[in-house]
Chain A
């Protein structure tokens, strides 16, 4: 028996005959079911016991499929029968598990022909549990093992298995929910699929009206979102470019301060900026009060709506554009600019004709990020949108509000998804096939051209203004968390902190009395659980994309990067729709939060992994392979140790995102698993600004501490473990050649 076949067969049998096939109530990780009449009780019985008792007979074919691999006994991996058998068994098993999962709905068989075939079912489908999970895994890996034995990807079991695994989870947790959502958009409240109902909702004036152009008061929600996103995209790109230029191309002395300042908004939940904007410019905001006292101008609610959203989102998303653009600005090879100058181009001409065009990919990327972030932003429109409705909040109200219309939410989400995918596609086609690579890998000793003086002063002005505004915003947040009631009672107090984070001691030890502790600890735990999983899935995918060649790799890459263009709001809605019903019932659990974070943040891990893997010479892997290490051993002993910086970056990023995200999880939180951000938004909706701001301040401080800690760890990194201070050990890893 081939050992790997034996292993997966054992896993399959444990799933089928030992663990409960269906999901058990309560926590996925608890084992109380052992005392609930296991293994005979119908609710917690393994599939084998169910079938033996004559229940759920459609699970019986799996017995045969789990026995068939034994035919491969004594056969070698290179035997064609071995591979073909495993492919057939794996595919059939997976297909059957999926069929029994999706074929039965809450009201018996889901399709009429199945009812005709098997007769009425007096039972309903339940969510799948450990047993189904393990059995499905076993079939999946038996299938990939068969493919590898037939010579796929050089016959590499680890690589084929990894590809199969990534494809399966992306299909299950990205594509399946999106497809379910699309199907749901056609569903009427009576549970009938109807195209006319879909078209009616889709073409509604609420979405597409152009009244505001014709002098009316409101435009359609879709146009609002699009307009806001385009303006924010352009503004953040220009500001980010200004920052990047100041940080790299001028003699500006406080560049480090600048870099530090741009980190702040990344670790701040986006809507906190919105809160600060309200505190500053709102009806009782500081600026309005000053204007009213000094000039007698009547305070208005002008900031609620488009102006406020523009200010808040630009402030919040400019750092993202900066981080994208600084790499690009630094990456433009100085010799290109020097060449232009020796060809008689002046500073301006060099900048306009060489530097700027070479930054095109960066500019396109920055715009795309700003556009998507703005489209997906949920917190800011919620707190200061006023009458300016956008898609993300409308989606939310369609689900949680009085309407409770999942079909409408799905339609709105489709419109949102359409916009972001169109932007994604437009960016690709704009960049086209032209190469913008200027670094050849050979030493480049040139010096970047100085900017034209006029441009430089203009940039100083813009950046100065932004820095001032950022400082004011953060100072306001911290200060306001100590103010009793902003704009009414400006006396200082610790009341909000007491209310949220009070700690007391009683006979059981520490008593977390503050109202925020529950969501705070949940957030930390969910973030800590999802960060390593996100990094692992992301880096594994990056390894497959950067280091392996296989059929369908382009489609694979597209699939894994797709969730990058899907706004969080859409992920949230699609998860609610897809995972609220069997066979995968996850709503209300912590797992669904973790899953949404993994697939939301995975593309960043993939990008980071690919970027750093391209710095590691391929001959390192190959030499490990020729020395007799398998691809798994190579991955573990050579690639992972050399990828440490990328791992840390992916970990920090996913941790921070899990702490600050709001758009997806606002749909997924439950009473038991409330997250910090949704708790804060809840407080804002109840007008408890003080607690919301105090909580935000605590979050920012916690995140700063985490980032600082990570910086310390990364900073002490050195190739090799000895503190011998090898010079140049930090540079690109080129096989020490």
Chain B
């Protein structure tokens, strides 16, 4: 039985710029990053941020206007898609409707110098890997959405590419299937040790599958780090708000010592890592579930008035008004409900608030 193996290679972008003809602002502006072999890295960002263009430049479907693209250390900047050892799973799956599942999966093997019987064996191994043995003679139109997705994955995998690309692969699946398929993709990736670059605009999906996330915004990289780093220590208000929800509060850095800043938010004073901030006005990101509700007037608490309280089953959601602006708070306490109009205090436990740009 033929085995499908990983053939992972690194991907490096050096100062890559992409400007589409007739468009004044670049789609990707001076982007540099390096992806280690065997890792699953997600490109995350709102629509129009340049993440898909970046992915297509790795595939060779778009050519950078300037800068260099390296795969496995070799310069592939000017190499067209056909000549790159990269496969891609498309958002629409792009299964050829006039070919059977078997023909679809074997399509790429035809052009890479495999003998007929070897190609067939490989295609079969690929289908087995995604759990679709026995579907060889079906047409794509006779498969469910999830099955079509797996055929698309198998078709890309059997070529044993240096890099496997996913362009929003789950967006056409329903919510339950999405979780299952994303686990399967992650399993295959770890099992074969593949280099995978994954594009999505769904932050939860990104947090769940990635070794590393590159957040993009307005054609540049906003932040690059592990899921935990991005969630716990977002570099900017944009990242804080895009990955999970965050309240962005205006604050004042009173003093900085030993890399820790003393920060005042109205009457409240907290200490948090300074992250390069000096004294003066700054912005603070606080996750809604990292805020504690205390009785009004409690020590070191921000006075607040409940504007709206919503019961959503597993927790309570509050919209409260404070002198520093409206704040969104999530509280696991579903038994004691603070009614609208009630005065409360907000406390910020250590490790919650983060200074951002």
Contact = CB atoms under 8 A, between A and B. Distances in A.
Q: Do A and B come from one complex?
A: yes
Interface of A: 78, 151, 154-156, 549, 617, 619-620, 622-631, 633, 637-638, 641-642, 719-722, 724, 726-729, 733-737
B141 A729 contact: yes
Interface string B99-129: 1100000011011100000000000000000
Nearest to B141: A726
B172 interface: yes
B88 A626 contact: yes
Contacts of A720: 97-100, 139, 141
Given A154-B80, A623-B90, 13 more contacts: A78-B78, A155-B78, A617-B92, A625-B61, A627-B108, A627-B156, A628-B82, A629-B111, A724-B142, A726-B142, A727-B141, A736-B141, A737-B91
Interface in B308-357: none
A729 B111 CA distance: 28
13 contacts: A622-B59, A623-B152, A624-B107, A625-B61, A625-B80, A626-B61, A626-B84, A629-B82, A720-B97, A720-B98, A737-B92, A737-B93, A737-B145
Number of chain B interface residues as a range: 35 or more
Interface string B64-106: 0000000000000010111010111011111111111000000
A149 B232 CA distance: 49
Given A620-B96, A623-B94, A733-B97, A719 B82 contact: no
B159 interface: yes
A149 to B, nearest CB: 11
B21 interface: yes
A733 B91 CA distance: 15
B155 interface: yes
Given A151-B78, A154-B80, A625-B61, A735 B141 contact: no
Nearest to B110: A629
B86 to A, nearest CB: 6
Given A154-B80, A719-B97, A726-B141, A633 B90 contact: no
Contacts of B97: 642, 719-720, 729, 733, 735-736
A722 B138 CA distance: 9
Q: Which of A620, A642, A728 has the most CB of B within 10 A?
A: A620
Given A630-B82, A642-B98, A735 B92 contact: yes
Contacts of A633: 111
Contacts of A78: 78
B303 interface: no
Given A626-B61, A626-B81, A736 B111 contact: no
Interface of B: 21, 59-61, 63, 78, 80-82, 84, 86-88, 90-100, 107-108, 110-112, 137, 139-142, 145, 148, 152, 155-156, 159, 165, 172
Nearest to A618: B94
B163 to A, nearest CB: 10
A368 B61 CA distance: 39
A633 B109 CA distance: 13
B81 A625 contact: yes
A737 B94 contact: yes
A735 B143 CA distance: 13
B303 to A, nearest CB: 49
B262 to A, nearest CB: 53
Contacts of B107: 624, 627, 629, 637
Contact of A622 (B63, B94, B148, B152): B94
A79 to B, nearest CB: 13
Contact of B98 (A619, A622, A719): A719
A620 B139 contact: no
A549 B91 CA distance: 22
Contacts of A630: 82, 111
Contacts of B141: 719-720, 726-729, 736
A156 B80 CA distance: 8
A719 B141 CA distance: 9
Nearest to B161: A626
Q: Which of A638, A728, A734, A737 has the most CB of B within 10 A?
A: A737
A631 B82 contact: yes
Given A724-B142, A736-B140, A737-B148, A628 B94 contact: no
